[in-house]
Structure 1
């Protein structure tokens, strides 16, 4: 298995090749990408690479992604306890969503606590045309996650295979 550093290098190399390809395609009018779309894709990709790595399921230990959170790294320890390494967190569709959902729960708890302590605390509004920004952001995030999984040798049907194994184990016990 590649180390965290190797995963990062793989992702940076892939991003570089992809960016060069997009630039060439855009210059030849084969593709239209706005600077804002490129920025959102880039942010999603690098957040997924450096802050929300699938290896956060090892957050009880010293994981690069957890360390990059600085003093907030402790927030990922419960995630590491909830997710078995290479389990649900290493699936192609649900795995990346587990980290986003975990962040959403933490944000909701912090916001709820702030509203409890300070009732006049302003709740940030979610902009309406969010979907235009969300698609490139999620595309970058998911691509970074998938590159990590490919480097780990995790196939796209990993989650289905794990579920089948669990069902077979349960059937054997009855």
Structure 2
């Protein structure tokens, strides 16, 4: 299995090829990409590659994604204890969602704690609903980065499905 650095290099190379293809397609007016769409796709892809890697399920050890969080990397240790390596966290649809849900839970706990400790403090509020033309590219970028990681690990889209679909043997 590739190391964290190899995973990052694979993702960077794929992003470079994809960006070049998108630029050529845009210049030939085959696709229409706004700067906001390109930026949000890039941000989603970068977050998925460097901060929310599927290997965070190994957070007790030395994981590149955990180190990219700096001292906040310790927040991912419980995630590593919750999920076994290459289990649900390495599935194609639910795996990326587990990391987003875990991150949302950590943020909610921190905000709740801050509001409890300092009731008079005003915290930033959630912005107005963001345009779908911006949300879709960030989600696509995030999921593509996750899927490249899984492909490099040799994990197919039906990962775990064969086991769950098998009928129990009768004795």
- TM category, shorter: over 0.9
Q: Distance in 2 between matches of 1:159 and 1:33?
A: 36
Identify the residue that residue 142 of structure 2 maps to in structure 1: 141
TM-score of the aligned structures, taking structure 1 as reference length: 0.92
Deviates more, 1:156-165 or 1:8-17: 156-165
Secondary structure class of the residue paired with 2:37 = helix
Q: Give CA deviations for 1:68-124 in whole Å, capped at 9, x if unaligned.
A: 110001000000000000000000000000000000000000010111112233341
Q: CA deviation at 1:154?
A: 0.3
Q: Give CA deviations for 1:16-70 in whole Å, capped at 9, x if unaligned.
A: 0000000000000000001111000000001100110000000000101101110
| Aligned positions of 1:1-40 closer than 5 A | 1-40=1-40
Identify the residue that residue 103 of structure 1 maps to in structure 2: 103
Q: Distance in 1 between matches of 2:132 and 2:107?
A: 20
Secondary structure class of the residue paired with 2:160 = helix
Identify the residue that residue 132 of structure 1 maps to in structure 2: 133
Deviates more, 1:144-153 or 1:119-128: 119-128
Q: Distance in 2 between matches of 1:83 and 1:164?
A: 21
TM-score of the aligned structures, taking structure 2 as reference length: 0.93
Within the alignment, does 1:61 sit opposite 2:61 as a pair? yes
Q: CA deviation at 1:133?
A: 2.1
Q: CA RMSD in A?
A: 1.7
Q: CA deviation at 1:130?
A: 4.5
Identify the residue that residue 154 of structure 2 maps to in structure 1: 153
Structure 2 unmatched ranges of 5 or more? none
Structure 1 unmatched ranges of 5 or more? none
